[in-house]
Every structure is written in structure tokens, then in C-alpha cells.
Amino acid sequence: DADVTQTPRNRITKTGKRIMLECSQTKGHDRMYWYRQDPGLGLRLIYYSFDVKDINKGEISDGYSVSRQAQAKFSLSLESAIPNQTALYFCATSDLRPGQNEQFFGPGTRLTVL
């Protein structure tokens, strides 16, 4: 079974709709991240959380919000989706390890906003 899962895997929605993307992990990691990936722009950090009570904005947080419901769950919301939020969204987790700073990614959610 996958350690980091994302639901849904694909979603098509219309402008103005509220959308929630969910991420769950069984790795026991404290740290969770949301990225979006766009052709030509690479991976950009939206929000991150170092523990259940900690939420931080990333590089491109405008238009997004997050909720850390538990250590294992981190959801991303688009309150009113717009077409330029069409992208591939990844959740990732990490934990402090000696000498490393590795992030483990989920399989991604492909979101299309019409």
C-alpha cells in the first residue's frame, strides 16, 4: 500500500466552485507539504505544516487554504477555483533524519478548472 495517498486523483471542476484535495500518510511523519507543478514552472510550495498545530504559507498560497486535521491528514482547499489553478498537485511528507532532508511524495492530483 502507498505510504502517501491523495484523493481524488483527477478532478474537473468549474470556475467559482470550492474544491478540497485530501492527503493521508501512514509514514508517521510530522511534516506535510502541498505543492503544485506546472509545465515550465516546476514544483512550487503552496503550504506546509511541521506538526498538527503548525501551518505556514509557501511561495504561492494566495487562493488556497489548508487544514491539518491530524498528524496523518493534510487537506488543501480552493475556496473559489479559477482556471489558472489548473495544475498537478502533490502532497509530500518528511521527517527529520540525521544528514537528510528527504520528502516523500504522493501520486498527485490532476485538477482542471474550466
Partner 1 sequence: QKEVEQDPGPLSVPEGAIVSLNCTYSNSAFQYFMWYRQYSRKGPELLMYTYSSGNKEDGRFTAQVDKSSKYISLFIRDSQPSDSATYLCAFSMNRDDKIIFGKGTRLHILP
Q: Which residues bind partner 1 (CB under 8 A)?
A: 4, 40-43, 45, 48, 58, 90, 92, 96-97, 99-108
CB of 77 to partner 1, least distance (A): 20
With the CA atoms of 32, 36, 39 and 41 taken in that order, what torsion angle do they form, in degrees rounded to the nearest 10?
-80
Least distance from partner 1 to the Cβ atom of residue 50, Å: 8
Residue 36: CB minimum distance to partner 1, A: 12
Cβ contacts of residue 5 below 8 Å, gap of 6+? Answer: 23, 24, 25, 106, 107
> Please, which residue, 16 or 107, has the CB nearer to partner 1?
107
In the bound state with partner 1, the residue whose beta carbon lies nearer, of 9 and 17, is 9
In angstroms, the first-to-last Cα distance of the chain is 33
